[in-house]
Structure 1
Amino acid sequence: MAVLVLEPLEADVLEWLAERHVIQAAPDLAEAPLTLREHVAQAQAIFLPASIALDAEMVRRAPV
């Protein structure tokens, strides 16, 4: 996956992203921090809502 979307976005914004990138829209991951960490390792970009704290463990799991 290239772009992980965890916050609700307008349909036309998701469509625009999907035309340019592989996306996974998964707002439910915002409520599952352990599962989210697993997905972070596969993402090149993430749209996070302000309610999600980006901690050091999540950053370490991100691809280089």
Structure 2
Amino acid sequence: MNGKGAGVGKQMIEFRHLRYFTAVAEELNFHRASERVYIDPTPLSRTVRDLEERLGVTLFVRNPVAWL
């Protein structure tokens, strides 16, 4: 054991990532989710994209017309 704990070599997921992801998943809309967590839509979207990059998966398919 190197004493650094879990996630060595990976970026850790922060609570805000999960909070914002949950809001978007429940609202299915970045604008409504941003109002729910009291943050502007742009940083909310950036944080969710950061979470996707940290996990190495696409969590939401972004489409300006409809959610897929």
Scaled by the length of structure 1, the TM-score of the pair is 0.33
Higher RCO (Cα < 8 Å, 6 or more apart): 1
Scaled by the length of structure 2, the TM-score of the pair is 0.32
**Larger strand proportion of the pair:** 1
Specify the structure having the higher radius of gyration (Cα): 2
